[in-house]
Amino acid sequence: MVRSLRVHVPSTLVRRPRAWVGTGVSAVAATVLLVTVVTVVGPSALRSARASAVTPLARFPGNGIGAYGDASKSGDFSGIALDAPATTLAPTPDGKGYWVAAADGGVFAFGDAGFYGSMGDKPLAAPVVAMAGTSDGQGYWMSAIDGGIFAFGDAPFYGSMGGKPLDKPMVGMAPTPDGRGYWMVASDGGIFAFGDAPFYGSMGGKPLDAPVVGMAATHDGRGYWLVASDGGVFSYGDASFHGSASGADIGTWVVGMAPTHDDAGYWLLAATAGVLTFGDAAMYGPTPNNPPFSPAAAIAATPDGKGYWLLQPDEIDTTFSASPIGPAFAQGGQVVAVAASQIGPNPDLSRGSYCNPYGPCEQWCALFATWVWQQVGIGIPQYAFTGKVFDWGQTSGVVLPGSARPAPGDAILFGTGPQNASTSVHVGIVAETWPDGAVVTVEGDSGPEPDGQDVTSIDGPFLPADAGFQLGMPVYAFVRP
């Protein structure tokens, strides 16, 4: 199982989707089998007020789970609202079901996947970002961004990095074949081995062009791959290198990987939900250049390697009501509800590039953020420049440094300062905060769509202190009305 920390980068900083280069990929129509068996555990009633005067936009097409090739769709999130965004996916050994975990540790079991417990409605220091099932399908592990491990069913606990200092946050995990150990990987490529999981090497302490976003183990447990957001692949032990997307102009970033059944190839998953193939990995879809793109977070392969599932969290109704840190101002919950109601594709693209529902046809992340505040009665002008949000906060609100712990509803400002468009590059709305400092945001004018066709989407979980490395743009301030 592979899990990646998904990031959205504004149009000024990210390479945009074009045709895939150098992979020999061809698009194949997806076959999706709809099965309505689902066990849902984790979400509770909506705790943040919805602003009834705001009209929700059209959502991304789909219901959170994409099935391609011989991957059977055993259920999805149609009619289900999550308290926190879905972050990770793990299949059962026979491929007839899968688990999905959310950032708050809630577990959702589909098909023949059994429910063995969750962290839903339990206090967490940090959000869950990775998950793996046991070899017999009778249990699973979850990993949090701070290195904490939660074991359920017949999944033994062999140790964790929870409560220990980390140079960089955890982004993925993989179990050994016998289930007697597991590896964890951090965004700097550091590997942590527990139980009978051998250490074969890592990128920890070595310079990286881009952060590591996930890992996958070979089927005999004698090696593993790491994948970075630029598509770079690092092979250790008996894991063979079959190529990478590093240096290829793929126009987006990579969020995860999955190996084929014989380890002679692997798939890389792009943030657009496009799939790149290497080695003997066959292409089953989806085609990556057919907007609107529905952002992807994770990929998992079927047991015979003739298909895969994709997790696409922005398609799922998410209330963001699981935040351990409550609103610090009266309208905080309403701000988050308004922002969440706008997650989806941009409906105004027929008018031209950068056209949006919140103002003139120009880069519009600040137009979105200030519009959201206005909907709940906050008297901020509808600014187009992100630095003006900072300036307004100095005179009419509260400005917090980028090292502070924000509250839901705060604005998050990316860049190095408010001076100009080169230093203040992006703004979003904080939707969830966690005791370890991690946040989830909702951002307008966000990727991974082509330049000028951006959408409103979910970003995170991520640590604001690490945003410069993880997202390619640091956080310089938060603003509270």
What percent of the chain has a predicted confidence (pLDDT) above 90? 79
Residues 441-454: tens digit of each pLDDT: 999 999 888 888 89
Q: Above 80 in pLDDT, residue 47?
A: no
Residues 150-207: tens digit of each pLDDT: 999 999 999 999 999 999 999 999 999 999 999 999 999 999 999 999 999 999 999 9
Query: How large is the angle between the packed helices 365-375 and 386-396, nearest 10 degrees?
Result: 40
What percent of the chain has a predicted confidence (pLDDT) above 70? 88
More confident residue, 42 or 175: 175
Chain center to CA of 228 = 14
CATH of 319-480, one of 3.30.160, 3.60.21, 3.90.1720, 1.10.10: 3.90.1720
Residue 56 pLDDT: 77
Which among 75, 78, 62 is positioned nearest to 36, based on CA atoms?
75
Token pair listed for 340: 């969440």
Domain boundaries, the chain: 38-317, 319-480
Distance CA 279, CA 445 (A): 36
Residues 444-480: tens digit of each pLDDT: 999 888 888 899 999 999 999 999 999 999 999 999 9
Token pair listed for 260: 């084929």
Which among 316, 312, 318 is positioned nearest to 65, based on CA atoms?
312
Which of 49-53, 214-218, 258-262 is the least confident region?
A: 49-53
Which of 130-139, 228-237, 245-254 is the least confident region?
A: 245-254
Q: Above 80 in pLDDT, residue 38?
A: no
Please give the DSSP secondary-structure letter assigned to residue 234.
E
Residues 6+ apart with CB under 8 A from 431: 320, 323, 336, 339, 340, 408, 439, 440, 441, 442, 458
DSSP letters along 270-306, please?
ETTS-EEEEETPPP----SSSSSP----EEEE-TTSS
Residues 408-444: tens digit of each pLDDT: 999 999 999 999 999 999 999 999 999 999 999 999 9
Residues 267-284: tens digit of each pLDDT: 999 999 999 999 999 999
The CATH number of the domain covering residues in 38-317: 2.130.10.10
Residue type at 24? G
Which of 184-188, 244-248, 249-253, 367-371 is the least confident region?
A: 249-253
Average pLDDT over residues 354-380: 96
If you average pLDDT over every residue of the chain, what do you get?
A: 88
Which of 24-38, 215-229, 340-354 is the least confident region?
A: 24-38
Stated length of the chain: 481
Residues 6+ apart with CB under 8 A from 185: 170, 171, 172, 173, 191, 192, 202, 212, 214, 215, 226
Distance CA 121, CA 274 (A): 34
**Please, are residues 430 and 411 in contact by the beta-carbon 8 Å criterion?**
yes
Distance CA 111, CA 116 (A): 14
First and final CA of the chain: distance in angstroms? 41
Distance CA 92, CA 326 (A): 36
